């Protein structure tokens, strides 16, 4: 059984980006720029935004973090995004989700220019992704694709079962894996809560991607021998022995399922670190695309 090390893979991606951005700097060129918008005081969101800010600092991407009070009106947020859409220093815009209840997330995502949609959430990006056209890919599914490629895990003709149908992970990763391309070309089944017995699908999986948000949901009796496991879940469970009183676990019962798996991602340290790495990658790509457009 091989542990798929997302932490190491993400570090390699960041190191490569750092080298490329240092070359831009030494050549006297402008640097890629990322703007992050945080509305309110959600503790988890504050941690995520700070992590993204630190990652930008590490690789040399210019970053701006705009913190807005929870009372911010939807119209005010859209006005800010429209300003960033035309700011030449900024190649990527991300609005940290979730937003306060009085703000419509769909409206906000659609107000971001598709040319700066480095999260890959805009309907234009999603549409192009489904059609197999060049676009920004959603960061977590993109990270999964990179891990499969890095570990030379064959996907062509393999049965991949995705458990979960969210717009952020399940749907996009299923569509990426369906594409008639290298490192894709899979037969994909998407499972969700409407299935009477999910086990009849999960047991067929050559590769199982769990993105359901339920701790230890996938157990050893639900998978076959030599399955490849990609665990996207990050769940807090109480643990009196842990310093913080809790520990982080995935959607897969790692201890038992790892005994049957050929490859498996740990939690933490698997898919998680790849999400920010791909955000940086998308921002650098946006910078390159904007340069081509100007030329």
Cite the residue boundaries of each domain of the chain with CATH code 3.40.50.10860.
Answer: 29-113
pLDDT higher than 80, residue 294: no
Q: Tell me the average pLDDT across 14-43.
A: 96
Checking if the pLDDT of 295 tops 90, the result is no
Position 240 scores a pLDDT of 86
- For 43-74, what is each residue's pLDDT tens digit? 989 999 999 999 999 999 999 999 999 999 99
Task: For the chain, give the percent of residues with pLDDT over 90.
Answer: 93
The 10s digit of each residue's pLDDT in 188-231 is: 999 999 999 999 999 999 999 999 999 999 999 999 999 999 99
Active-site option among 119, 206, 251, 253: 119
Q: For this structure, is 239 an active site residue?
A: no
What are the start and end residues of each CATH 3.40.50.720 domain in the chain? 139-272
Catalytic residue among 52, 116, 146, 171: 52
Active-site pick, 5, 96, 231, 251: 96
Q: Does the annotation count 119 as an active-site position?
A: yes
Q: How many CB atoms lie within 10 A of CB 119?
A: 25
Output the pLDDT for position 291.
82
Closest CA to 147 of 218, 230, 210: 230
Q: Is residue 269 within 8 Å of 231, Cβ to Cβ?
A: no
With tokens 């220019």, the residue in question is 113
Mean of the per-residue pLDDT values of the chain:
96
**Domain boundaries 29-113, corresponding CATH code:** 3.40.50.10860
Question: Taking the complete model, does pTM exceed 0.85, yes or no?
Answer: yes
* Domain 139-272: CATH architecture, name and number where available: 3-Layer(aba) Sandwich (3.40)
The per-residue pLDDT for 241 is: 85
Gyration radius of the chain's alpha carbons: 20
């Amino acid at each position: 059984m091989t542990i798929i090390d997302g932490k190491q893979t993400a570090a390699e991606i960041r190191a490569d980006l750092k080298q490329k951005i240092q070359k831009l700097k030494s050549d006297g060129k402008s640097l890629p720029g990322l703007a992050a918008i945080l509305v309110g005081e959600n503790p988890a969101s504050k941690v995520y935004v700070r992590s993204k800010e630190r990652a930008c600092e590490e690789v040399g991407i210019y970053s701006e973090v705009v913190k807005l009070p929870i009372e911010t009106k939807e119209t005010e947020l859209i006005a800010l995004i429209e300003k960033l859409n035309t700011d030449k220093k900024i190649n990527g815009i991300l609005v940290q989700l979730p937003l306060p209840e009085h703000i419509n997330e769909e409206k906000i995502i659609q107000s971001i220019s598709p040319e700066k949609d480095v999260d890959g959430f805009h309907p234009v990006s999603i549409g192009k992704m489904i059609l197999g056209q060049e676009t920004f890919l959603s960061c977590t599914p993109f990270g999964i694709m990179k891990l499969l490629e890095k570990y030379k895990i064959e996907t062509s003709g393999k049965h991949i079962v995705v458990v979960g149908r969210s717009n952020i992970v399940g749907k996009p990763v299923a569509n990426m894996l369906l594409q008639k391309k290298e490192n894709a070309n899979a037969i994909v089944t998407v499972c969700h809560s409407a299935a009477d017995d999910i086990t009849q699908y999960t047991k067929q999986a050559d590769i199982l991607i769990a993105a359901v948000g339920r701790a230890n949901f996938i157990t050893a009796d639900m998978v076959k021998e030599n399955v490849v496991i990609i665990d996207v879940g990050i769940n807090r469970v109480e643990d009196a022995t842990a310093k913080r009183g809790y520990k982080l676990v995935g959607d897969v019962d790692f201890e038992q399922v790892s005994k049957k798996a050929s490859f498996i991602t740990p939690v933490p340290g698997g898919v998680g670190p790849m999400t920010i790495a791909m955000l940086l990658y998308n921002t650098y790509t946006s910078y390159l695309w904007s340069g081509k457009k100007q030329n």
